[in-house]
């Protein structure tokens, strides 16, 4: 029984930045994201008793042994959850510009969780899928749902209360996300490594922990009231604060390049001229500009004229997991 699921990537407006349990992927803070409509992963899974190990192809190519093992360890969690004992064949197609630093682990593990549970013949709730996906990559817990999504950190040690929930469905509050690519180089410090070093060494991390809950409460209120300006102010503030923690890490690091700063400056300049837009940045140099559908075209044009900008990918609010067959 081969099953195929599709999951979209998401962009965090309130960042997940730090784990309290690295094995179970339990975060130190709750986070909030928008699921994006243009970037997604399609994953097919088929369990087969003739296989003596799990196999995995990404974009029709077999992956490295390290990557395969990572997927296989995740599938062990799926086997524990479903009671399935066979190995499986996994085929993933990424409709995400991976090299450009757009997170494909979120859509990847979310699609894999959904397809593998279905292929094992088990029914799971979205909450259960979010818990499973979380254990592949934290941000994947949020890609189970469409719209605006909150991943509640939970309190339990077993992680059973650490899952995402939708706070506003897609099609309710229309925002535009322009993914601005300034570099296609692979990340130097992966988010997993970067957040670990920050938690362990940055004296600024406590400041993050002390204030991120407040940011979340305020942005949720802004989203529920569809208050774009307030949402924008908070998301930009939260992103800058996350990146500030990395400067205090030991050894310190910074995900930005000079091109990143150029885009940030242009966003602030456009805003001063009355164009509604705000930026957020993940664990890499590319920038996501959040704007309104009305201002999108003009802002895209202005951003395109910056010499360091290589490509712009416009997105809107996207859907949660779907099954293709
Ligand atoms: C900066 O979910 O990629 O994008 O759980 O270790 O796989 P792991 O990390 P990951 O971290 C994402 C960090 C972030 C912020 C966010 O998406 O919330």
Q: Is the ipTM of this complex over 0.95?
A: yes
Binned at pLDDT 50, 70 and 90, residue 97 comes out as confident
CA angle, corner 225, sides to 12 and 207, nearest 5? 45
Which of 155, 152, 154, 178 is closest to 167 using CA atoms?
152
3-state secondary structure 52-98: CCCEEEECCEECCHHHHHHHHHHHHHHHHHHCCCCEEEEEEEEECCH
Please name which of 220, 275, 304, 245 lies closest in space to residue 34, comparing C-alpha atoms.
220
- Would the CB of 153 count as within 6 Å of ligand 1? no
Task: Examine the pLDDT at 96 and tell me if it is beyond 90.
Answer: no
Is the same domain home to 142 and 185?
Answer: no
Residue 100 is predicted with a pLDDT of: 54
Region 220-228: what's the mean pLDDT? 98
In this predicted structure, what is the pLDDT of residue 154?
98
Q: What's 184's domain CATH number? A: 3.30.70.890
Residues 127 and 188 in one domain: no
Q: Is the pLDDT of residue 99 over 60?
A: no
For 59, the domain range is 3-171+320-324
Q: Per-residue pLDDT averaged across 71-85, rounded?
A: 98
Whether residue 78 has pLDDT greater than 80: yes
pLDDT at 319 over 70: yes
Same domain, 153 and 185: no
Nearest-CA residue for ligand 1 atom 1 is: 282
pTM over 0.90: yes
Q: How far is the CA of 187 from the centre of ligand 1 (A)?
A: 13
pLDDT at 186 over 90: no
Is the same domain home to 17 and 121? yes
CB of 181 sitting under 6 A from ligand 1: no
CB atoms within 10 A of CB 73: 12
Number of structural domains found in the chain? 2
Asked whether 150 lines ligand 1 (CB < 6 A), one says no
Q: Which pLDDT score, from 0 to 100, does residue 101 have?
A: 58
61 vs 186, which has greater pLDDT? Answer: 61
| 112-129 tens-digit pLDDT | 999 999 999 999 999 999
């Amino acid at each position: 029984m081969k099953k195929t699921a599709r999951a979209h990537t998401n962009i965090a407006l309130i960042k997940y930045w730090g784990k309290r349990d690295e094995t179970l992927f339990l975060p130190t803070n709750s986070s909030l994201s928008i699921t994006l409509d243009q970037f997604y992963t399609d994953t097919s899974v088929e369990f087969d008793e003739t296989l003596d190990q799990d196999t995995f192809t990404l974009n029709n190519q077999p992956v490295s042994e390290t990557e395969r093992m990572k997927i296989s360890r995740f599938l062990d969690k799926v086997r524990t959850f479903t009671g399935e004992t066979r190995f499986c064949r996994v085929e993933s197609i990424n409709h995400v510009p991976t090299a450009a630093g757009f997170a494909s682990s979120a859509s990847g593990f979310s699609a894999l969780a959904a397809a593998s549970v279905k292929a094992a013949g088990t029914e799971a709730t979205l909450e259960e899928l979010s818990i499973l996906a979380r254990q592949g990559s934290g941000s994947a817990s949020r890609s189970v749902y469409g719209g605006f999504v909150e991943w509640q950190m939970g309190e339990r040690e077993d992680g059973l209360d650490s899952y995402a929930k939708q706070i506003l469905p897609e099609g309710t509050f229309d925002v535009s996300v322009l993914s601005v690519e300034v570099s296609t180089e692979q990340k130097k410090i992966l988010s997993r490594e970067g957040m670990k070093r920050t938690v362990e060494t940055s004296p600024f991390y406590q400041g993050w922990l002390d204030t991120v809950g407040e940011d979340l409460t305020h942005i949720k209120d802004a989203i529920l009231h569809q208050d774009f300006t307030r949402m924008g102010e908070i998301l930009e503030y939260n992103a800058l604060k996350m990146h500030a923690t990395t400067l205090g890490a030991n050894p310190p690091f910074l995900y930005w390049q000079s091109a990143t700063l150029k885009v940030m400056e242009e966003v602030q300049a456009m805003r001063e001229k009355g164009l509604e837009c705000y930026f957020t940045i993940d664990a890499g140099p590319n920038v996501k500009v959040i704007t309104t559908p009305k201002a999108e075209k003009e802002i895209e044009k202005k951003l395109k004229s910056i010499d360091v900008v290589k490509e712009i990918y416009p997105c809107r609010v996207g859907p949660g997991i779907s099954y293709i067959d």
